[in-house]
Amino acid sequence: EADIYQTPRYLVIGTGKKITLECSQTMGHDKMYWYQQDPGMELHLIHYSYGVNSTEKGDLSSESTVSRIRTEHFPLTLESARPSHTSQYLCASSEWGREVDTQYFGPGTRLTVL
């Protein structure tokens, strides 16, 4: 059973506001990921981390930033939210060193920017 948490679950905010989406996991996984998913569309990787102080941009260009100061915590920040940022944001983690990485997902944050 995966123990990965995201807060808030839903967020409605005005244009120009700074927001931070929280993601935490209690499994001790080294790798963590942020995906963006629009309705009926595939998941797009926007950020990933292989461990503390390691972050990389994903395949989908994003104006968000991430940090990884603690193994269990991988927050995503938008400095100035815009309507184009409206989407579902999914956090995932996976275990290092196995034959293959199985990713476990959090419940997601539904962001609406007005």
Partner 1 sequence: EDQVTQSPEALRLQEGESSSLNCSYTVSGLRGLFWYRQDPGKGPEFLFTLYSAGEEKEKERLKATLTKKESFLHITAPKPEDSATYLCAVQGVSGTYKYIFGTGTRLKVLA
Residue numbers at the binding site for partner 1 (CB under 8 A):
2, 6, 31, 40-43, 45, 48, 50, 58-59, 88, 90-92, 94, 99-108, 110
Q: How far is the CB of 46 from partner 1 (least distance, A)?
A: 12
CA–CA dist 100, 54 (Å, integer): 20
Q: Which is nearer to partner 1, 7 or 102 (CB)?
A: 102
Shortest reach from residue 59's CB to partner 1, in Å:
7
Whole-angstrom distance, CA of residue 82 vs CA of residue 113:
6
The secondary structure of 47-101, three-state, reads EEEEECCEEEECCCCCCCEECCCECCECCEEECCCCHHHCEEEEEEEECCCCCCC
Q: Which residue's CB is nearer to partner 1, number 43 or number 52?
A: 43
| Comparison of 19 and 46: residue with beta carbon closer to partner 1 | 46
By beta-carbon proximity to partner 1, the closer residue of 15 and 88 is 88
What are the C-alpha distances in Å from 18 to residues 8, 47, 65, 77, 85? 14, 18, 11, 7, 12
Q: 14: which DSSP letter?
A: -
Q: Least Å distance between CB 95 and partner 1? A: 11
The nearest distance, CB 80 to partner 1, in angstroms, is: 26
